[in-house]
Amino acid sequence: MRAAELEAAIVDLLERRTPTATICPSDVARAVGGDNWRELMAPVREAARHLVDRGDVVITQGGEIVDPSTARGPIRIRRA
């Protein structure tokens, strides 16, 4: 799966929610990967980092915005 497809899936899922809502990378992976969603977790996180670089989304942990290059563990994705 190409990064652009994953980025589009992230944006699409966020657009379906309220402006302050967050999504989990697994939401994206499940939406595009079906039964093989687990193998898409790292690519989804990378796609989210690209969207952070463009200023489209932020990555959060515990409700706080974090640097995606240093974030470890569970993250959430929210519109910027």
pLDDT digits (tens, 9 = 90+) for 65-75: 999 888 999 99
Assigned token pair, 10: 């992230």
Assigned token pair, 18: 């309220």
Owning domain of residue 44: 3-79
Query: Is 27 strand, coil or helix?
Result: helix
pLDDT digits (tens, 9 = 90+) for 13-52: 999 999 999 999 999 999 999 999 999 999 999 999 999 9
For the chain, how many structural domains are there in total? Answer: 1
Q: In the structure, what pLDDT confidence band is assigned to residue 64 with cuts at 50, 70 and 90?
A: very high
Query: Is 77 strand, coil or helix?
Result: strand
Cα 41 to Cα 24: distance, rounded to the nearest angstrom: 10
Assigned token pair, 13: 């899922």
Q: What is the CATH number for 44?
A: 1.10.10.10
Which phi and psi angles does 59 have, rounded to 5°?
-105, 135
Cα 31 to Cα 13: distance, rounded to the nearest angstrom: 9
pLDDT at 17: 96
